[in-house]
Structure 1
Amino acid sequence: MTQQTSEPRITGAAVLLFEAREAGEMPRIGWRYDGVPLGATEIIADQGDSTAVIGPALAAMEGVNPEHTAMLCVLHDLSDPRTVAADQVAAAHPNVQDVVLGAIAEFEDDDAPDARCAHDADKLDCYLQGLRLLRQRHRVEGKIRRCREALRAASARRMADADETIDPAQWAARPAPRPGHALSPPRRRPPAIMNAMNTRAAPTPYHRPSTGRLTGAHRTAPSLTPLGTQLPERA
C-alpha cells in the first residue's frame, strides 16, 4: 500500500520526478510536420541528453558558463509535453519551483549569453538529427535549413558546417594525437583476469521462477526448476 509522506512539498517534488521520467519517453512529434513518421524520430530524453553535451561545448567556446548552460538545456524540455510548467511544480518545494521555473523562463527569454548557447544547442541538435534523417532518405532539407539559419553563435555555425561534412560513423574513428600528446594505448586486462573469464563455467539454465507467496510477515522463496525436469501436468 502506498504511504503518503508527511511532507507535502517533498511529495510534490517526487511527483515531478515521475513526470520528468515519463515525459522523457515521449516521441518528439515536431518531425511529423516534415513528413517523418514517429517511428523514425527520437524521444525527448534523446534530445535532452544531446543538448546537455552540445550546450556546454558551445558555452566553453563562447566563453560563458558551461554548467548553467547545461542546466538550461536539460530543464527547458520539462515543459515540452504539457507546456504548463507552473502546474508541474506547483506542489513542489519552493526552492525546486524557483530552479525549474527560473531555468525555463531564462531559456524562453533568450536574453542572457547562457540562454543563447542553450538555444543554439537545441537548434544544433535538431540540425544533427535532420542530417541523420536526410541520410535515411527522409525529405527534411527545409528543416535542416531552418535550424542552420537559427544558429547565432559563431562557434555553433562553424560546428554545423563541420557536421555537414562528417560521415555519421566518423565519430568512432580514433582522433589524431595533438603535437606532443601521444594517445595512450587501449587498456588491456591482466592475463589472470582474462584466463578467469575464459574458463568461467556457464551458468545452469533455469525456467522462470514461480512467484513466491506471502504468508503473514514472511515470503516463501520462489522455486527454481532446472531445464529437462519433467513437470507435473496441471489438473
Structure 2
Amino acid sequence: MNDAAPVCRFLYEVGYLKRSPRVGWEVGGVAGRIESVAEHSFRTAILAHLIATAEGGNPDRAATLGLYHDVPETRIGDIPYVGRRYLTAAEPETIVKDQTSSMPETISAPIRAAIAEFEAGETIEAVCARDADKLECLLQAREYQIAGATDIDAWIESSKRAVRTQTGRRLAEEALVTHPGDWWRAAQGSR
C-alpha cells in the first residue's frame, strides 16, 4: 500500500463508533452505561456468523456484513427509530462511498460492497446479518431488562417480529426464556 494515510483516517473514524452510544436505549429509558455502536456491531457479526452457518450461507461473508453494517453512523449518528419518522438521512451506500473515497480501490471496494449487500437484504448472508442485527438488539434489551430497565418491551417485540430465518426465530424464542446470566452459572458448574 503506497498511501496508508487514507486507511488510517478511516480506522480512526471507525474507532469513533467505540465512543458512540446507541441512542435508542436512552429514548427507551435505559439508565447508566449504554452500549456503543461498536459493541453492537461486534455481537452482530458473531450472531451473523452463527446464523449463516446454521442456514447454509457463507458465515464469513455474513459476519463481514454484520461487522460493517453501522460504519456509516460515524457521519450521521445512531438515529433512533422514532427519529427516523422526522429525519431524512443520507443512504448508507452514499456515506460509505465518501468514507472510503480516498482509500485504495482494492480496500474500499469490498467495504462499499458489504454495505450495499447488507442494505439490499437479498442474499442469504444479508438476511442472516440483518437477523443478527435485530437479534443483537433483542439480546441487549433482555440484558437491560434484567438490569432493571422497565420500558423496553417494544424493542424486544419489534426485534423478534423482524427476524426472518428459522435459526433466528429459534434464537429469539430461546433468548426470551434464557436468563442473560445463565452462561456464567453454567460455567461455574463445569469446573
CA deviations on 1:156-210 (whole Å, 9 max, x unpaired) are: 011111111111111121499xxxxxxxx97xxxxxxxxxxxxxxxxxxxxxxxx
Q: Which residue of 2 aligns with 1:147?
A: 159
User: Equivalent of 2:104, from 93, 106, 110?
Assistant: 93
1:31, 1:82 → 2: CA distance?
A: 20
2:17 aligned with 1:23, yes or no? yes
Structure 1 consecutive aligned stretches of length 4 or more whose deviation exceeds 6 Å? none
Q: Which residue of 2 aligns with 1:163?
A: 175
Higher relative contact order (CA 8 A, sep 6+): 2
Quote how far apart the aligned CAs of 1:135 are.
1.7
Cα 1:26/1:66, change in 2 over 3 Å = same
Quote how far apart the aligned CAs of 1:11 are.
1.4
TM normalised by structure 1 equals: 0.68
| AA at the equivalent of 2:117 | E
- Count of aligned residue pairs for this structure pair: 171
1:40, 1:174 → 2: CA distance?
A: 26
For structure 2, list consecutive stretches of 5 or more residues without a partner in the other structure: 77-94
1:108, 1:76 → 2: CA distance?
A: 8
Question: What SS does the corresponding residue of 1:36 show, helix, strand or coil?
Answer: coil
The structure richer in helix per residue is 2
Pairing of 1:59-98 with structure 2 (within 5 A): 59-83=52-76, 84-98=95-109
Quote how far apart the aligned CAs of 1:87 are.
1.5
1:175, 1:102 → 2: CA distance?
A: 43
Pair member with larger Rg: 1
Quote how far apart the aligned CAs of 1:70 are.
0.7
Quote how far apart the aligned CAs of 1:7 are.
3.9
Pairing of 1:198-213 with structure 2 (within 5 A): none
Are the equivalent residues in 1 in contact too, given 2:141–2:156 (CA < 8 A)? yes
1:115, 1:80 → 2: CA distance?
A: 19
1:128, 1:58 → 2: CA distance?
A: 15
2:100 aligned with 1:106, yes or no? no
For structure 1, list consecutive stretches of 5 or more residues without a partner in the other structure: 1-5, 177-184, 187-235
User: Equivalent of 1:116, from 112, 127, 151?
Assistant: 127
Quote how far apart the aligned CAs of 1:60 are.
0.8
Q: Which residue of 2 aligns with 1:44?
A: 37
Quote how far apart the aligned CAs of 1:35 are.
2.6
What percentage of residue pairs aligned between the two structures are identical?
30
2:5 aligned with 1:11, yes or no? yes
RMSD (CA atoms) = 2.0
1:40, 1:65 → 2: CA distance?
A: 34
